[in-house]
């Protein structure tokens, strides 16, 4: 049995979609029967024991389910999914095919969209954006004006904040980054710092010092030209310089 109903109170959003305020029909952890909630387009937008409250809006084919909560002025739209014990609140926006689940929180003015996923105990807040196929998980925090995109993964106890940008196939975990880790699109392969003290070129990940010792041999083994080996040597030297504070 559903724990809510649509009321006659209606608003029209910027896309011309009718949204209806909801109301609890039973006493539950979210309040007492008769207490008003937020706005949804249709009953299918909410399932399980989930709740939408305040002036929050859920519409399109978006689903809020499990024990999830959407409140404040948050918006969940498109085919987005918010479930488990996840919370989306403040002025946060979750859209596209994005998923927020587990015990994750997305709040402030944060944006999560595309095919991005935020899960575990992760927090995305401030003016941070997570999009593309990016994933933020574990106890990671993404905040400030940070951007995480592409196929990037931020996990563990990592912190990405300020004006940092993590993108491409980069992985950031464990130690915090105080600014964006090095990422370069080289002539032959993409280069990134997947974690402190390490460099990944193509599919090979080594410590920066090991790269300094071995890049010529690895380049020759992989058919690099002399000029390409020289180019990547310069990239490695740059990584050494930056490694004192990634």
Task: Find out whether 152 and 170 touch, Cβ atoms under 8 Å.
Answer: yes
Q: What is the per-residue pLDDT for 178?
A: 55
Rounded to whole angstroms, the Cα distance separating 68 from 182 reads 36
Are 37 and 21 contacting, i.e. CB atoms less than 8 angstroms apart? yes
Name every residue whose Cβ is closer than 8 Å to that of residue 236 and which is 6 or more positions away in sequence. Answer: 199, 208, 211, 212, 215
Q: Are 113 and 99 in contact (CB under 8 A)?
A: no
The CA distance from 199 to 207, in Å, is 6
Model-level pTM? 0.73
Residue 147: the pLDDT is 92
In the structure encoding, which two tokens stand for residue 152, read together?
A: 């990037």
pLDDT of the chain, 246 residues: tens digit per residue: 689 999 999 999 988 999 999 999 999 999 999 999 999 999 999 999 999 999 999 999 999 999 999 999 999 999 999 999 999 999 999 999 999 999 999 999 999 999 999 999 999 999 999 999 999 998 899 998 899 998 889 888 888 887 778 777 666 666 555 556 677 888 888 887 766 678 888 878 888 889 989 999 999 998 899 999 999 999 999 888 877 544
pLDDT at 170: 64
The tokens describing 106, both together, are 């997305």
Q: Two tokens at 53?
A: 């409250």
Q: Report whether 44 contacts 32 (CB < 8 A).
A: no
pLDDT of residue 107: 96
Task: Name the residue ranges covered by the structural domains of the chain.
Answer: 183-242
């Amino acid at each position: 049995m559903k724990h809510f109903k649509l009321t006659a109170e209606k608003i029209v959003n910027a896309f011309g979609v009718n949204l209806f305020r909801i109301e609890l029909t039973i006493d539950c952890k979210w309040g007492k029967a008769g207490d008003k909630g937020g706005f949804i387009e249709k009953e299918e937008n909410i399932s399980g024991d989930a709740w939408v409250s305040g002036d929050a809006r859920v519409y399109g084919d978006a689903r809020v389910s499990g024990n999830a909560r959407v409140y404040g002025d948050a918006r969940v739209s498109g085919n987005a999914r918010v479930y488990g014990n996840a919370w989306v609140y403040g002025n946060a926006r979750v859209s596209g095919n994005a998923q927020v689940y587990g015990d994750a929180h997305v709040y402030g003015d944060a944006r999560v969209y595309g095919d991005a996923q935020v899960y575990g105990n992760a927090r995305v807040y401030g003016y941070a954006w997570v999009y593309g196929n990016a994933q933020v998980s574990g106890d990671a925090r993404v905040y400030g004006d940070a951007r995480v995109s592409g196929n990037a993964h931020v996990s563990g106890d990592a912190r990405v904040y300020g004006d940092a940008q993590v993108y491409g196939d980069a992985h950031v975990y464990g130690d915090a980054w105080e600014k964006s880790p090095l990422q370069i699109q080289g002539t032959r392969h993409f280069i990134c710092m997947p974690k402190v003290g390490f460099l990944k070129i193509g599919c090979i990940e080594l410590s920066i010092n090991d790269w300094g010792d071995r890049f010529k041999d690895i380049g020759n083994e992989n058919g690099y030209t002399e000029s390409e080996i020289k180019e990547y040597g310069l990239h490695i030297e740059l990584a050494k310089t930056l490694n004192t504070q990634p």
